[in-house]
Structure 1
Amino acid sequence: MNVFVAEYRRYRKLLEGALAQVSDDNFFRRLDEQDNSIAVILNHISGNLLSRFTDFLTSDGEKPWRNRESEFRVEGMTRTALMEKWDRAWKVLEGSVFSLGPQEMQKVVTIRGVRFSVEEALARSLAHFSYHVGQIVYLARHFSGTAWEYLTIPPGQSEQYNENPDKEKGI
């Protein structure tokens, strides 16, 4: 279980490091009409985590109360409200997943009626989460321009980093 916990935490650190560098205007800004804003992506991953991990072992991961389509509309929402939703989603993830033991990893859960081992469901969730965190980091870096503070290895510092590769473990 530690592998999943460490990776979720590592991506959370990247996500929140990127969000900290974005103004409120850029939080809601889209590159064009077809693209999602950081706010939309955060709303979507929050909704996804809330649905997947509420009653994780005992109910389908696609909850009847989830309205996935509404996650892509943030008009009238505030950054504060979206950050509160993100905090709730993280707490649900932590409470449902971070204490699972080896026996629970072999259990079966369903997502949209499809059966997955807990391990498979977590791998899928982590891939989805990291994909969207990457989108947020990319947008935040784009909007921050030269003020961007690197969240991973800065250009020209690979050798120095390789002497103590602490970021690989989310430290």
Structure 2
Amino acid sequence: MKTTEENYLESVKKQLAYYKKLGDKTFDQLTEKELLWQYNAESNSITIIVNHLWGNMKSRWTDFLTSDGEKTWRKRDMEFESVIRTGEELQEKWEDGWECVFKAVNSVDKNNFNTPVYIRNEAHTIMDAINRQMAHYAYHIGQIVFIAKMLKGAHWKSLTIPKGKSGEFNREKFSKGKH
């Protein structure tokens, strides 16, 4: 039987993979110009949001169990500058950030689960540190999806159940005996 810690970590890995997949499916629908689009000078483009996520991921998850999650080498203010210029650069940072996340999460097990994790010199349980990051990533990936939906309009392809199709989805799901 799995421990509570093992069940939690399995759930975390599924949720993180889900959020990454939402981003992947969103990027697939956008042109390079759309990835760089900003509503105004004060708003963030998708590339800026990805750059911020990358910086946060690298800082929080590098040496996750052994060093503060706010690294001295992090340049957070630069994360909100237009430094990503191409879709290829966006993909490189996106994948690099997620690789760091999954490597760190995969390093956690029942033997080190009670190790305190520090973020900005504040102690967190592993669960609190991971939940904090998952909420942060969901927030920003939601922004990415929202921007993309505005840009694509009627050409947007739903990432989950299309609008107005819940009944159809549920009938199909339940007719197959899956609950």
TM over 0.5: yes
2:72 match: secondary structure: coil
Q: Which moved more, 1:153-162 or 1:118-127?
A: 153-162
Q: Distance in 1 between matches of 2:145 and 2:110?
A: 33
Q: Distance in 1 between matches of 2:21 and 2:83?
A: 27
Larger radius of gyration: 2
Q: Residue 16 and residue 118 in structure 1: after superposition, are their counterparts in 2 closer, same or farther (change >3 A)?
A: same
What is aligned with 1:82? Answer: 90
Matched residues, number: 165
Q: Residue 74 and residue 12 in structure 1: after superposition, are their counterparts in 2 closer, same or farther (change >3 A)?
A: same
Structure 1 position 57, deviation (Å):
0.3
What is aligned with 1:169? Answer: none
Q: Distance in 1 between matches of 2:150 and 2:113?
A: 39
What is aligned with 2:115? Answer: 107
Q: TM-score, normalised by structure 1?
A: 0.91
Structure 1 position 89, deviation (Å):
1.0
Aligned-CA RMSD value:
1.5
Kindly indicate whether residue 78 of structure 2 is the aligned counterpart of residue 70 of structure 1.
yes
Q: Which residue among 24, 28, 37 is the counterpart of 2:32? A: 24
Structure 1 position 107, deviation (Å):
1.5
What is aligned with 1:47? Answer: 55
Q: Is the 8 A contact 1:28 1:37 kept in 2?
A: yes
What is aligned with 2:130? Answer: 122
Structure 1 position 104, deviation (Å):
2.7
Q: Distance in 2 between matches of 1:105 and 1:129?
A: 22
Query: Which gives a bigger RCO, structure 1 or 2 (Cα 8 Å, sep 6+)?
Result: 1
Q: Which residue among 16, 19, 23 is the counterpart of 1:8? A: 16
Structure 2 gaps, min length 5: 1-8, 175-179
Give the percent of matched residue pairs that are identical in Structure 1 and Structure 2: 36
Q: Residue 76 and residue 44 in structure 1: after superposition, are their counterparts in 2 closer, same or farther (change >3 A)?
A: closer
Kindly indicate whether residue 161 of structure 2 is the aligned counterpart of residue 153 of structure 1.
yes
Q: Is the 8 A contact 1:104 1:118 kept in 2?
A: no
Q: Residue 13 and residue 117 in structure 1: after superposition, are their counterparts in 2 closer, same or farther (change >3 A)?
A: same
Q: Which moved more, 1:82-91 or 1:52-61?
A: 82-91
Q: TM-score, normalised by structure 2?
A: 0.87
1:45-74, Cα deviation, whole Å (9 max, x unpaired): 111011100010000001111100000012
2:164 match: secondary structure: coil
2:123 match: secondary structure: strand
Structure 1 gaps, min length 5: 166-171
Kindly indicate whether residue 94 of structure 2 is the aligned counterpart of residue 92 of structure 1.
no
Q: Which moved more, 1:58-67 or 1:156-165?
A: 156-165
